[in-house]
């Protein structure tokens, strides 16, 4: 260990991505492997985004627009807000990282998260030597907003709430969220991470970070083009905040943090409403099918508003996770995020879900499968 390295960084657990397809093929000698682990969009990116990237590719020798003006204006127009309230980053992960640098000053500051939750929230606390406060989810695997409000104090600087939540898919609703905000100290900023929000379209009382930002509340909204828009591989996240927050963000971000291909892809994808409608509708049908498969096997599916399904099998699922992978299906064992009896499966194409149903049924109900 290099003695010059900050030792507190060793407290951070490296992010664990889903196993790569080629890696699993090689390990188990498989010709066919499908990945239902990383909450990627199974229908691929918007054709308009692909076309835009192809056109932009001939200019890769040039630095991107450092202010992402065209994309920023497109987002501002789409959501009817001024460009001065739009954040852009290299995935929403970068936004989380930089918000930590902006608001956390050391051990006296606190970051509050639901537990289990997205690991990058935890990392923002560890990097800045700040205290991480984990508040357990309730019995329905939802954020316990009342408990979080009681745990908040004058040292609470950032509260992360993913809505819909990762890894459970649950949501908080607008009345409860508003009550929660009213109970917080004014120094606490609530980061409402809406990475999966498009999949909750039409859900009654789903709060919108944008509306709270417009009201001038202590809310920062995060969104992404990785999920419903199918641009995970090109890395672009965005968000909404008060102009004074956006101003500081511009001071700390990298000069060219959003590459030119990502800017072109996101600008085109934002206009492709037909694609987004198709993406959300496929997700709804596929998620319902996953829940039906789980229920048919005796597992308890949780209500999810994201692009994955989570189910409790009543016993540890590490073995099931491995059996599925040996047969060519990569999922997420619940032990990865503190729910050892659960399995999380990303929605797939119809063909992929046919394969998943066949394989998991053969593992758990071999007599039925025969």
288 and 198 in a common domain:
no
Q: At what angle do helices 119-127 and 92-103 cross, to 10 degrees?
A: 30
Rounded Cα gap, residues 236 and 243, in angstroms: 20
208 and 170 in a common domain:
yes
pTM here? 0.94
Would you write out the chain's pLDDT as a tens digit for each of its 370 residues? 677 777 777 777 777 777 889 999 999 999 999 999 999 999 999 999 999 999 999 999 999 999 999 999 999 999 999 999 999 999 999 999 999 999 999 999 999 999 999 999 999 999 999 999 999 999 999 999 999 999 999 999 999 999 999 999 999 999 999 999 999 999 999 999 999 999 998 899 999 999 999 999 999 999 999 999 999 999 999 999 999 999 999 999 999 999 999 999 999 999 999 999 999 999 999 999 999 999 999 999 999 999 999 999 999 999 999 999 999 999 999 999 999 999 999 999 999 999 999 999 999 986 554 4
Domain annotation covers residue 316? yes
Contacts of 339 (CB under 8 A, 6+ apart): 116, 141, 167, 168, 310, 312
Domain annotation covers residue 343? yes
pLDDT value at residue 366: 65
Residue pointed to by tokens 């509340």: 217
* CATH code of the domain covering residue 345: 3.90.1150.10
Last residue of a domain, one of 249, 271, 293: 271
Phi, psi of 158 (to 5 degrees): -130, 135
315 and 261 in a common domain:
no
* Parent domain of 155: 47-271
Domain annotation covers residue 25? yes
Last residue of a domain, one of 271, 295, 324: 271
Q: At what angle do helices 47-56 and 260-271 cross, to 10 degrees?
A: 150
228 and 279 in a common domain:
no
* CATH code of the domain covering residue 56: 3.40.640.10
CB crowding 190-217: b at 16 or more within 10 Å, else e:
bbbbbbbbbbbeeeeebbbbbebbbeeb
Burial zone of 82 (CB within 10 Å; 0-12 exposed, 13-18 middle, 19+ buried): exposed
State both tokens at 345: 């499966």
Q: How many domains does the chain have?
A: 2
pLDDT value at residue 213: 97
pLDDT value at residue 97: 96
Q: At what angle do helices 273-296 and 350-364 cross, to 10 degrees?
A: 10
pLDDT value at residue 1: 67
């Amino acid at each position: 260990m290099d003695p010059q390295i900050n030792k507190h960084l060793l407290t951070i657990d490296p992010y664990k991505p889903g196993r790569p397809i080629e890696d699993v093929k090689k390990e188990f000698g498989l010709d066919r492997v499908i990945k239902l682990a990383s909450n990627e969009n199974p229908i691929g990116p918007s054709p308009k985004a692909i076309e835009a990237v192809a056109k932009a590719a001939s200019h890769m020798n040039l630095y991107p627009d450092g202010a992402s003006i065209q994309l920023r204006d497109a987002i501002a127009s789409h959501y009817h807000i001024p460009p001065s309230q739009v954040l852009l980053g290299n995935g929403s992960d970068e936004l989380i990282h930089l918000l930590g640098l902006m608001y956390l000053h050391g051990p006296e500051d606190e970051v509050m998260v639901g537990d289990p939750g997205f690991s990058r929230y935890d990392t923002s606390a560890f990097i800045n030597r700040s205290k991480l406060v984990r508040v357990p989810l309730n019995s329905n695997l939802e954020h316990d907003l009342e408990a979080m409000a009681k745990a908040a104090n004058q040292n609470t600087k950032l509260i992360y709430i993913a809505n819909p939540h990762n890894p459970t898919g649950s949501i908080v609703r607008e009345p409860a969220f508003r009550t929660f905000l009213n109970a917080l100290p004014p120094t606490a900023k609530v980061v409402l991470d809406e990475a999966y929000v498009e999949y909750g379209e039409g859900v009654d009382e789903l709060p919108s970070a944008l509306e709270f930002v417009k009201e001038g509340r202590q809310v920062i909204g995060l969104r992404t083009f990785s999920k419903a828009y199918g641009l995970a591989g090109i890395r672009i996240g965005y968000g909404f905040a008060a102009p004074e927050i956006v101003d500081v963000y511009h001071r700390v971000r990298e000069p060219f943090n959003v590459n030119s291909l990502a800017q072109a892809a996101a600008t085109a994808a934002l206009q492709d409403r037909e694609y987004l409608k198709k993406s959300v509708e496929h997700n709804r049908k596929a998620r319902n099918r996953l829940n039906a498969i789980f229920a048919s096997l005796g597992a308890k599916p949780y209500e999810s508003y994201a692009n994955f399904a989570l189910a409790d099998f009543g016993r540890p699922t590490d073995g099931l996770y491995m059996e599925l992978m040996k047969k060519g299906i990569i999922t997420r064992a619940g032990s990865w995020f503190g729910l050892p009896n659960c399995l999380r499966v990303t929605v797939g194409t119809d063909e992929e879900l046919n394969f998943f149903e066949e394989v998991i049924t053969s593992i758990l109900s071999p007599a039925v499968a025969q």
